[in-house]
Amino acid sequence: MCEGAEYRLKRFDSTLAFFFTMTTNIHLKRTQQIKVDKLMRILHPPTKLDKIRSNREFMKEWAEQVSEVEERKGS
């Protein structure tokens, strides 16, 4: 139940962050514009569990890419 509430809060914050960046980026130079992802990392920094999940996902993708390259070399 807590995870659901946290998910809804993040989703609501992401919607607000999107509209905030759209309204503020009109007044900023292209090089100084705010990105939604950067704003969301400030509002909801990644937890240790999120970091572990992203690391596992990266390692899985890396292993798939390495196996594809090895298959191409073997052919």
What is the value of pTM for the model shown? Answer: 0.59
**Per-residue confidence band for 57, with pLDDT thresholds at 50, 70 and 90:** very high
Q: What is the pLDDT of residues 24-52, one digit of tens each?
A: 999 999 999 999 999 999 998 988 988 99
Residues in Cβ contact with 34 at an 8 Å cutoff, skipping those fewer than 6 apart: 20, 21, 24, 25, 28
Q: Any idea which residue has 């809060």 for tokens?
A: 9
Distance CA 61, CA 18 (A): 29
Residues in Cβ contact with 8 at an 8 Å cutoff, skipping those fewer than 6 apart: none
- Other Cβ atoms less than 10 A from the Cβ of 17: the count is 21
